[in-house]
C-alpha cells in the first residue's frame, strides 16, 4: 500500500507545509521510504533546532512571515491540517495541495470509514474502533484523534479496517472520499480557520463529494445545517439517514422508539445502562450500531462493547465529589450546543464555568438559554464569557462572576456552589486564547479540583 504513495512522491519536488505532529510524521515517512530525497519544509516558526532535522543535509527550511510566498515552486505540497489557508485563491497552488489523508484515500479508500461532524467525532470513532476490535477485526483508529494516518501504514493489510476521525481542516482540500462516510452533525465552529460558515460546512461535505453510487453515506437528517447540505449536494453515495425521533421510516433509515434503535423495522439496540450518558451520546451510538449492522457484526457483542465503553477524557468527565460538590470537566465543549447538552444531561448544575476565545460564533440562543435555565452561578472567563456575562448582567436573577483565570473560577465555584450540586466547566468556546488546547485546560482544572 505504501509503495503506491512512494511512487507518487518519488519524482516530485515536495514541500511539507507545517511541521507540527503530522508534518513531522510526513517527514519520517519520506525519510523511511525515499531515503535522502530533497525536501523543503515551510513553517511560520523557526524549526532549525528540531531534533528530527539535525544532520539532515537534504532538507531546506523556509520559515518566518514569508514562508508561503513561493508555493508555486513545488510539484506537491503536503499540508498539515491545522494550518489555515482560508485566503488562498490561486487555483494552481490549490491543485498542488495534498495531505496524509488524501494520499491514503487515493490508495485505500475502500477500507476507510471516515467520521466527521462538529461534535462527537472522537467518541464515535473510538466506540466504533472498539466495536470492531472486540470482534477480532484488524482495525486501526487514526486521524484527528491524534494519530497521523500514515504513521503505521506498513502494518495495514489488505482487509485492515481504518476508522479515521476527519476534521474540517483535514477535509478542506481532499479530492477523494472514503467508502463509508459519516457526518454526525453540523453547527457553527472553526470560523477563524474556515473564514465563514459556508466554507466550513463545504469542507465537511468533501467527505461525501467524491463518492460513487457504490459508497455509503450516513448522516443525521434531523440536523438542519446538515439536512440542507445533503439536499443541495446531490451526492452519489447510498443514503442512510438517522433521526433522533420516531418519524416515518424510509428505506435505509435509523430511528429511536422508546429508547430502542431500529434500522428500518429491525431492532438493532435496546438502550440499557451505559457510561456514555446523554441523548447526544445515544445518537452517536445510532451511527455505530448501523455501521455494525452493515458490516455484519454480532449485534449482541456490539451492545456489550457499548455497555462497558467509558467516555473519553474532558467529555462530561466526572472528576469527583469534594466537600459535597461534584465537579465535571467538559472542556471539549467548544460550541454552545455542546455546553447545553452537558447541562441538560447532568441536570443538577448549580455553577457553570464558561468562556474562551471569540471565533465569531453566534451566541444569542446560548444567552437566552442561560437566562432561563436553573443554574444559579455563572462564572465568566475571557473573552466570550465576558461578552455573554455583560449581556446577562441585569437581565436575570443569577450570580454572575467575571474571572481572569481558572484558579479564580475554581475558588468561586468552591465557595458558591450549593452542597449536593454540580460545578460544570464547559466553555462553549475554544481554549486557544490562554491554553495550548482543550486538553491542557482540562488538566489544569482537574489539578485545581484535586489540589495538585
DSSP string, 322-367: ETTEEEEE-TT--SHHHHHHHHHHH--EEEEEE--B--S---HHHH
Give the mean pLDDT of 236-256.
Answer: 92
The three grid cell numbers given for residue 420, joined into one nine-digit string: 449536593
Residue with cell 477523494: 176
pLDDT, one tens digit per residue, over 364-419 is 999 999 999 999 999 999 999 999 999 999 899 999 999 999 999 999 999 999 99
Q: What fold does the segment set 101-308 form as a domain? A: 3.40.1190
pLDDT-based confidence at residue 297 (cuts at 50, 70, 90): very high
Q: Quick count: other Cβ atoms within 10 Å of Cβ 367?
A: 18
Beta strands 317-322 and 325-329 are antiparallel
**pLDDT exceeds 60 at position 301:** yes
Sorted by sequence, the CB contacts under 8 Å of residue 295 that are 6+ apart come out as 132
Q: What is the pLDDT of residue 192?
A: 57
Q: What is the pLDDT of residue 193?
A: 47
Sorted by sequence, the CB contacts under 8 Å of residue 241 that are 6+ apart come out as 218, 219, 220, 221, 250, 252, 253, 254
DSSP-assigned letters across all residues of 40-76: EEEESS--TT-GGGTT-TTEEEEESTTTTTTGGG-SE
Q: What is the pLDDT of residue 250?
A: 78
Distance, in Å, from the CA atom of 177 to the CA atom of 113, rounded to the nearest integer, reads 10
pLDDT, one tens digit per residue, over 73-92 is 999 999 999 888 878 889 99
pLDDT-based confidence at residue 249 (cuts at 50, 70, 90): confident
Residue 420: how many CA atoms within 13 Å on its side-chain side?
Answer: 0
The better pLDDT of the pair 265, 388 is held by 388
- For residue 79, the SS3 value is strand
Distance, in Å, from the CA atom of 77 to the CA atom of 42, rounded to the nearest integer, reads 10
Query: Domain ranges in the chain?
Result: 2-98, 101-308, 317-450
pLDDT, one tens digit per residue, over 305-358 is 999 999 999 999 999 999 999 999 999 999 999 999 999 999 999 999 999 999
The better pLDDT of the pair 199, 18 is held by 18
The three grid cell numbers given for residue 321, joined into one nine-digit string: 465529589
- 3-class SS string, 207-234: HHHCCCCCCEEEEECCCHHHHHHHHHHC
Q: What is the pLDDT of residue 189?
A: 67
**pLDDT exceeds 60 at position 38:** yes
Superfamily of domain 2-98: NAD(P)-binding Rossmann-like Domain (3.40.50.720)
Phi, psi of 181 (to 5 degrees): -125, 130
Mean pLDDT of the chain: 95
Q: Are 90 and 276 in contact (CB under 8 A)?
A: no
- By CB neighbour count within 10 A (0-12 exposed, 13-18 middle, 19+ buried), where does 392 fall? middle
What CATH number does the domain located at 317-450 have? 3.90.190.20
Cis peptide upstream of residue 77 (ω within 30 degrees of 0): no
The three grid cell numbers given for residue 271, joined into one nine-digit string: 438502550
Sorted by sequence, the CB contacts under 8 Å of residue 108 that are 6+ apart come out as 1, 156, 162
Nearest CA to 168 out of 196, 194, 198 is that of 194
Residue with cell 471569540: 358
Residue with cell 486521524: 143
Which residues partner with 262 through β-bridges? Answer: 255, 267
Domains 2-98 and 317-450 belong to one CATH topology:
no
| Distances in whole angstroms, Cα of residue 388 to Cα of each of 69, 182, 190 | 40, 33, 19
DSSP-assigned letters across all residues of 98-115: E-HHHHHHHHHGGGEEEE
**Least confident range of 49-53, 83-87, 166-170, 190-194:** 190-194
pLDDT, one tens digit per residue, over 174-210 is 999 999 999 999 998 655 544 578 989 999 999 999 9
- What pTM does this model have? 0.94
Amino acid at each position: 500500500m505504501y509503495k503506491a504513495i512512494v511512487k507518487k512522491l518519488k519524482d516530485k519536488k515536495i514541500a511539507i507545509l507545517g511541521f507540527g505532529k503530522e508534518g513531522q510524521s510526513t517527514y519520517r515517512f519520506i525519510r523511511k521510504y525515499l531515503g535522502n530525497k530533497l525536501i523543503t519544509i515551510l513553517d511560520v516558526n523557526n524549526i532549525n533546532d528540531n531534533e528530527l532535522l539535525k544532520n539532515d543535509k537534504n532538507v531546506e527550511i523556509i520559515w518566518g512571515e514569508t514562508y508561503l510566498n513561493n508555493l508555486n515552486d513545488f510539484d506537491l505540497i503536503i499540508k498539515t491540517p491545522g494550518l489555515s489557508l482560508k485566503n488562498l485563491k490561486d487555483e494552481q497552488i490549490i491543485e498542488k495541495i495534498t495531505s496524509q489523508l488524501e494520499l491514503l484515500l487515493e490508495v485505500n479508500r475502500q477500507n476507510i470509514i471516515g467520521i466527521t461532524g462538529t461534535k462527537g467525532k472522537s467518541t464515535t470513532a473510538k466506540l466504533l474502533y472498539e466495536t470492531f476490535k472486540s470482534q477480532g477485526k484488524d482495525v486501526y483508529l487514526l486521524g484527528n484523534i491524534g494519530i497521523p494516518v500514515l504513521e503505521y501504514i506498513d502494518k495495514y493489510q489488505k482487509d485492515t479496517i481504518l476508522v479515521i476521525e476527519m476534521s474540517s481542516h483535514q477535509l478542506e482540500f481532499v479530492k477523494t472520499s472514503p467508502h463509508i462516510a459519516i457526518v454526525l452533525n453540523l453547527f457553527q465552529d472553526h470560523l477563524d480557520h474556515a473564514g465563514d460558515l459556508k466554507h466550513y460546512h463545504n469542507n465537511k461535505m468533501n467527505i461525501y463529494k467524491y463518492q460513487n453510487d457504490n459508497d455509503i453515506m450516513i448522516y443525521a437528517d434531523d440536523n438542519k445545517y446538515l439536512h440542507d447540505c445533503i439536499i443541495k449536494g446531490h451526492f452519489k453515495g447510498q443514503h442512510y439517514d438517522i433521526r433522533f425521533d420516531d418519524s416515518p421510516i424510509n428505506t435505509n433509515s435509523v430511528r429511536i422508539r422508546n429508547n430502542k434503535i431500529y434500522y428500518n423495522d429491525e431492532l438493532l439496540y435496546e438502550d440499557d445502562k451505559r457510561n456514555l450518558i446523554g441523548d447526544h451520546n445515544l445518537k452517536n451510538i445510532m451511527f455505530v450500531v448501523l455501521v455494525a449492522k452493515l458490516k455484519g457484526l454480532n449485534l449482541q457483542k456490539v451492545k456489550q462493547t457499548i455497555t462497558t465503553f467509558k467516555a473519553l477524557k474532558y467529555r462530561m468527565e466526572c472528576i469527583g465529589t469534594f466537600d459535597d460538590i461534584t465537579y465535571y470537566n467538559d472542556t471539549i465543549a467548544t460550541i454552545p450546543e455542546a455546553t447545553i447538552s452537558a447541562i441538560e444531561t447532568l441536570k443538577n448544575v448549580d455553577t457553570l464555568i464558561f468562556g474562551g476565545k471569540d471565533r465569531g460564533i453566534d451566541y444569542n440562543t446560548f444567552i437566552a438559554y442561560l437566562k432561563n435555565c436553573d443554574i444559579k452561578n455563572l462564572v465568566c472567563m475571557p473573552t466570550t464569557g465576558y461578552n455573554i456575562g455583560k449581556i446577562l448582567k441585569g437581565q436575570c436573577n443569577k450570580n454572575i462572576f467575571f474571572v481572569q483565570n481558572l484558579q479564580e473560577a475554581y475558588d468561586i465555584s468552591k465557595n458558591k456552589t450549593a452542597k449536593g450540586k454540580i460545578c460544570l466547566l464547559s466553555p462553549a468556546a475554544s481554549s486557544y486564547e490562554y491554553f495550548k488546547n482543550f486538553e491542557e485546560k482540562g488538566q489544569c482544572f482537574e489539578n485545581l479540583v484535586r489540589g495538585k
